[in-house]
A and B are shown apart, each in its own frame.
Chain A
Amino acid sequence: MASKRKLTVFELDAIREMAAVGAGHSSTALSELAKKQVIVSFPSVSFYKIEEIPSLIGKPYELVTTVILRIEGKHQAKRFPVGEMLLIFVEKSALDFTNLLWNRENKKLDESDLDALKETGNILSGACLSALTEYLDFKMVESMPGAATDMLGSTMDSTLANLAVKTDEALVFMTDFKISGHDIKSYFLILFDPTVLEVLVKKIKEKSQ
């Protein structure tokens, strides 16, 4: 069964390397958008129990603004799931970020701010996926993004439920972005669908030969 698939150290390293390039592209896109320097952490790539994934970010009751996107692969006429992308702004980071984008001092997020955050999610995932496409030789498309400000757990559970029917553990790619000179921090995650791991490993092996 797909959920029982474990990767070797070599395979995980190769995926981490690919993910680091993707994260680099995303942080560049974020930097251009905010017109500020972005500090990006070295990405981690590991398996986690679905139920444990929110604790990588914080406590389930912490206030966040989360943007979600679904990623699908496209090969010839076939579409297949690649994973779930999450962009999570902690505490007031979403508000500080939109204020920075529009050079203003609003006190709370409104609908147009949420739209801007969705668009940011689109841009970051687009940049990341275009880098991954180089490695994987298949095109990827993103779904329409959704955004919500609420408790961490409640903004993540429907996304986790999508994967929870398929696997006990998911491969999680995670990095975080900080905007230089501002107290703005966001986490960028891709939760890989278990059915795509086989393809990922095969493509990476082909490239390394």
Chain B
Amino acid sequence: MSENKLTIGMGEFVVSSSGVLEAVGLGSCVAVCLYDKGKKLGGIAHIMLGKSEGFDVNPMRFADKAIDAMLKELLKKGCKQNNLTAKIFGGASMFSNIKTAMEIGNNNVNAVKAILKKYGIKIIAEDTGGTHGRSVWFDLDNGKVVVSKVYGPTIEV
């Protein structure tokens, strides 16, 4: 894996053509990775919430606004929308007895799926839900994502 790593925090997205993009310590948050294999261009959005409608705060916290902005950036850099594929990770319920915490993770995953569907972007890999945290490393050289957890094996998809 490339040495050149960039960390994407909550409420941020980054688009790049080289190196590794990482999103660390995802609980209910979701990391959305978009990739154009032909162009070797991709991006990660680290979203905290689903739909932005009615909320006047950092729009990049929300799945709809962040994916929208990331897609625009990718298209501007020469990607074709129908060449893009998605991989999504996170959306866990870390506190299984707390209803609101459970709903946040589920809502995030559902919102991400709805938006990707709206843009016709296919999800080709997914590791979502459950009760544990995840960290992801997205390699822009080949579009592969390494997913690690405190509990369970590290996987590559």
Q: Which residues of A contact B (CB under 8 A)?
A: 1, 3, 50-51, 54, 59-61, 63, 68, 70, 143-144, 146-162, 164-168
Contacts and interface: CB of A to CB of B under 8 A. Distances in A.
Contacts, number: 114
A165 B24 contact: no
Contact of B25 (A1, A54, A168): A54
B97 A157 contact: no
Interface residues of B, number: 35
11 contacts: A50-B61, A51-B9, A51-B61, A61-B24, A146-B95, A150-B150, A151-B25, A153-B27, A157-B27, A158-B104, A168-B57
Contacts of B84: none
Nearest to B93: A158
B61 A164 contact: yes
B56 A1 contact: yes
Given A51-B10, A148-B95, A151-B25, A61 B135 contact: yes
Top 8 A-B pairs, shortest CB-CB distance: A153-B25, A154-B133, A146-B95, A154-B27, A60-B25, A158-B101, A151-B25, A158-B28
Contact of A153 (B24, B57, B132): B24
Contact of B101 (A1, A59, A60, A146): A146
